[in-house]
Amino acid sequence: MKVYNTLTKNKEELIPLDNKTIRMYSCGPTVYSYAHIGNMKAFLFMDFLKRSLNYLGYKVKSVMNITDVGHLVSDSDEGEDKMLKTAKNSNMTPWDIASIYTDAFLNDIGKLNIHRPNVLCKASEHINEMLDMVNRLYDDGYAYETSDGIYFDISKFPDYGKLSNLDLEGQIAGARVAINTEKKHPADFAIWKKAPKEHIMQWESRWGMGYPGWHIECSAMSRKYLGDQFDLHTGGVDHIPIHHENEIAQSNAYIKKQAVKCWMHCEFLQVDNGKMSKSIGTAYLVSDLEKKGFEPLAFRYMCLNAHYSKKLNFTWEGIEAAQKSLNRLSNLVAAHKDSDAEADSDLIETYKNEFRNALEDDLNIPLAMGTVWNAARSSVKSFRIYQLLMDFDKVLGLNLDIKRNEAEEEIPEEISLLAQQRLQARKNKDWKKSDELRDTIKSLGYFINDTPSGQIIKKG
Ligand code: AMP
Ligand code: ZN
């Protein structure tokens, strides 16, 4: 398999460093809130990658962290700890918050058929490993002390900025990183923070009580479970310029070698062509999809149809179309299952090769989906094609074997009429009438979703 390496900016052949197993690490969620479907795109990417590697015959060991301490409101060591902020606002301890949102996260990834990584590790349970790194980086002269913590000195690491082509010279203090007058360079970053008394999560260190910087967590846990040097590291593109740049600096400085061979990043999910945003209510959750009558796997289907390195635009019409396609695909699979006709062996071989070749070329799953559809639509229905499609489903994870209702929903005349009247009421800004009509429609067993490009009527 060849994949695009953000570090070298080249497509490279993946050959396990130990000639046996691909060792991969993925940045996990910060469990201070529910993970939205944008986050899920990043975790789906990790899952597609691991399943594809397995499909292509690689052995894989995967690790993902759960960040339950140290991730500050700003990625650049400023502001409160996200966990503590939520805890304060809800009158719970950070440990309670972590436990609630970790469970919710595991539940969501289960619904999306994302396999759990081989190791899922919590930051708060690896403080010793982090302190071991902090201590050595400090002793080796890579870090210095300020009044509020221990900072990595990027001037000691000449490769700093290589991953993101960072223009360090041109970087003005206060532009990317808020001004901290004690820092030697604006891009120097905290590997350990000194804890004020009221800080709930704190541990003993040689500099007194404190807590880890967010970036050191991933360096320490990846090293613990995958060794000094490993093959692959994944995350979202937002992590390239700070988090991953910092991970590289710490890990490489600690072992005085290159820790990670290949970095892979997935592009962002947008909503209605804009940034997902909690404040305007577009940071949708998996449960929001379910509330509107969609399967979480319809979102998985949607993500399979865009290359990981491309932005994906979420709309309610888009998820509706994805659900319909998924239903149709499952029904085609069922038709093959129930047939005893013979399939052409050469054709099956061709489909298999096409599917493999697409995965081998930087995880081109959208191209592989073309083959899936061609095989599913082939005029000869055959049990062997059913077996082939179920084999592809080991990568797709769409549960193609389950029965899905393909029938187009017939919207009765009466409901369509009421919906038209509601549309007119909304045009007239008669919100009262519009709400009344919505209630009437609801009482007749249908509900309406308003989307930027119109209303969607569904039964349920
Ligand atoms: P966080 O919990 O904020 O650390 O984010 C978890 C993962 O989701 C990271 O890999 C982020 O890069 C990724 N992520 C955050 N927002 C989006 C988005 N809108 N689309 C895709 N990935 C995202
Ligand atoms: Zn990370």
Atom of ligand 1 nearest to the CA of 236: 12
Q: In this predicted structure, what is the pLDDT of residue 229?
A: 98
Ligand 1 atom closest to the Cα of residue 71 is 4
Asked whether the predicted pLDDT for residue 409 surpasses 80, the reply is no
CB atoms within 10 A of CB 89: 9
Select from 27, 34, 123 the least CA-distant residue to 86. 34
Atom of ligand 1 nearest to the CA of 26: 10
Residues 108-148: pLDDT tens digits? Answer: 999 999 999 999 999 999 999 999 999 999 999 999 999 99
Helices (H), 25-126: 37-55, 82-90, 94-111
- CB atoms under 10 Å from CB of 208, counted, come to 9
pLDDT-derived band at 343, boundaries 50, 70, 90? confident
Mean pLDDT lowest for which of 129-133, 186-190, 205-209? 186-190
Tens of pLDDT, residue by residue over 306-316, are 999 999 999 99
Reported as a single tens digit per residue, the pLDDT across 67-112 is: 987 666 565 666 677 777 777 777 788 888 889 999 999 999 999 9
3-state secondary structure of 324: helix
Q: Tens of pLDDT along 269-291?
A: 999 999 998 888 899 999 999 99
- Cβ–ligand 1 distance for 70 under 6 Å, the answer no
Question: What is the CA(37)–ligand 1 centre distance, in A?
Answer: 9
Our answer on whether the CB atom of 244 is closer than 6 Å to any ligand 1 atom is: no
Phi and psi for 227 in degrees, rounded to 5? 95, 175
Q: What pLDDT is attached to residue 415?
A: 87
Q: Tell me the CA–centroid distance for residue 26 and ligand 2, in Å.
A: 7
Could you give all domains of the chain from N- to C-terminal order, each with its CATH number?
Answer: 2-266 (3.40.50.620), 300-396 (1.20.120), 413-459 (no CATH)
Atom of ligand 1 nearest to the CA of 239: 12
Q: How many CB atoms within 10 Å of residue 256? A: 8
Give the whole-angstrom CA distance, residue 400 versus residue 179: 53
Q: Where are the beta strands (DSSP E) in 310-393?
A: 312-314
**Dist. CA 58 → ligand 2 center (Å):** 24
Cα–Cα distance for residue pair 70/79, rounded to 1 Å: 11
What's the pLDDT at 423? 87
| Residue among 39, 68, 108 whose CB has most ligand 1 atoms within 8 A, to mutate | 39
Instruction: Name the residue at shortest CA distance from atom 23 of ligand 1.
Output: 39
Judge if the beta carbon of residue 38 lies within 6 A of ligand 1.
Answer: yes
Q: Hey, CA dihedral for 314, 115, 401, 395, is it positive or negative?
A: positive
Nearest-angstrom CA–CA distance, 26 and 226 = 12
Q: Beta strand 21-26 with 59-66: parallel, antiparallel or unpaired?
A: parallel
Structure-token pair, residue 390: 């179920």
Q: Please, what is the angle between helix 365-377 and helix 316-337, to 10°?
A: 50
Q: Which residues of 92-129 are buried (b: 16+ CB within 10 A; e: fewer)?
A: eebeebbebbbebbeebbebbbbeebebbbbbbebbeb
For a substitution probing ligand 1, which of 26, 34, 238 has the most ligand atoms within 8 Å of its CB?
Answer: 238
Q: Which of 177-181, 182-186, 297-301, 440-444: highest mean pLDDT?
A: 297-301
CA of 30 to the centre of ligand 1 (A): 9
85: exposed, middle or buried (Cβ count in 10 Å: 0-12, 13-18, 19+): middle
Helices (H) and strands (E) in the chain, counts: 14, 16
Cα–Cα dist 223/325, whole Å = 42
Is any atom of ligand 1 closer than 6 Å to the C-beta of 238? yes
- Return the pLDDT at 175: 47
Mean pLDDT of the chain: 91
pLDDT at 203: 95
| CA gap 114, 105 in Å, rounded | 11
Q: What is the pLDDT of residue 178?
A: 54
Atom of ligand 1 nearest to the CA of 267: 21
Q: What was the pLDDT predicted at 87?
A: 72
Contacts of 90 (CB under 8 A, 6+ apart): 97
Instruction: Return the ligand number nearest the Cα of 243.
Output: 2
> Distance from the CA of 31 to the center of ligand 1, in angstroms?
12
